[in-house]
Amino acid sequence: MNPIRKSHEFHHCIRGPREDVGHPDPCEERAQGYHGSSRDDKEFRDFSQKGILSGDQSVNPLAHNWNRVMVRNCDGTLFLSDAELPVRGGRPLQLRGRRNAMLAIHQLLSSGLADASELLLGGCSAGAVAAPLLGDYVAQTVRRAAAQRGGNVFVAILSDSGFFVDWSSLSRAPPGVLSFPQLQWLFEVGNVSEALPEECLKAGESWRCMLLSSAVPYVKTPSFFLQSTVDSWQLRSLEPSSLEALQDQLRPALLRSLNAGRGRGHGGAVDHCVHHCEAWGEITWGSISNRDAFEGWYRKRLQQWHSSGFNASVFDTAGEHWPLLHLGRAGPSQCYPGQEEHLRWHQNLTLALEKCDMGRSWDIFVGNLLGKTLGDILDNNFSG
């Protein structure tokens, strides 16, 4: 066991439907459950098999003996919002994702983070969006605190499964592929612009700066991206036509973004396995796993930082040939050891979706229709 102990509680009461509409529903439903509060979280959770959070050296050679902290996502707004909405149902709606995230950072600074020599800000899914978007501000905050104590801290980002496709130029996403138009609504009402790269907003990208494909070229903190071109969280169907439609849109967007970010020190590993997060150390490019690729990239950025005299703007990946790529078309079978288990999970979820009201939210589908809470799903090594 390598448990991480529960510390502070976070509460939030906002949810948007899975697709087609984005708006706040009454707080009571989400605020009382796993997706709106950490109140009922277990006192300890075992992260021995949870990738970069693991304390097992065989799973996480780079950071197994680091201080490891998880800020769980229960805000429903990608950790980006900070706004008060009009009263609904007699209760005010508070969008506090960014405030929760930054309060966690300040709490950690008062608990020893200001003395750190290295900081890796990582995330999966919603966290994979938040880590790069908030990363520059977090890096500045931590470096400033370290400097006040006479120290220097190297900051890097690991983002796993955070690229979501923009289908807004089409009337709708292709059959079997999901879209997330609530991002535009969130930008308009959630006061998220302060969390987004300023240069991206100045370039006129507006709400699309919430999409990593638009934002990554403007992120200054060196970042490594793990991403499937057939991300299962963006698929309702595993039919070949759906896989191809998603891959044809996501792969070019990924490559454009990562190539534009090379001068910032960004790297990545792009696979065509059907998964969402998970699969740490299991997906390979020849003899190199996603874990190996990240660790190699990280050590080179750390070396550059030391060689430059702790200059946070000297990172460059010229000659390193990022990102790693899987060639050819995506296929759902035997891509990595956990592939078949994940496919069964996705098929069960699809069957549940077909039987239920499609207007209900994705988190309710995952939590209730499969008879599991998301905590159960995570604890049993399912992804999603």
Higher-pLDDT residue of 169 and 142 is 142
Q: E strands, the chain, where?
A: 3-5, 44-46, 83-88, 91-95, 118-124, 154-160, 223-228, 267-271, 284-285, 288-289, 324-325
For residues 317 and 138, give the distance between their C-alpha atoms in angstroms, rounded to a whole number.
22
Q: Where are the domains of the chain?
A: 3-379
The helix-helix angle for 126-148 and 97-109 (nearest 10°) equals 40
Cis? peptide before 323, omega within 30° of 0: yes
Mean per-residue pLDDT for 24-50?
66
What SS3 state is found at 139? helix
323-349 pLDDT, tens digit each: 999 987 776 667 888 888 888 888 887
Buried b (16+ CB within 10 A) or exposed e, 334-354: ebbebbeebbebbeebeeebe
- In angstroms, rounded to a whole number, what is the distance separating the alpha carbons of residues 300 and 304? 6
Distance CA 318, CA 121 (A): 23
For position 360, what pLDDT does the model report? Answer: 46
Contact 107, 37 (CB under 8 A): no
> Of 239, 233, 332, 244, which Cα lies nearest the Cα of 277?
233
> What are 3's strand-pairing partners?
46
pLDDT digits (tens, 9 = 90+) for 192-249: 999 999 999 999 999 999 999 999 999 999 999 999 999 999 998 899 999 999 999 9
Residue 87, pLDDT score: 66
* pLDDT for res 76: 75
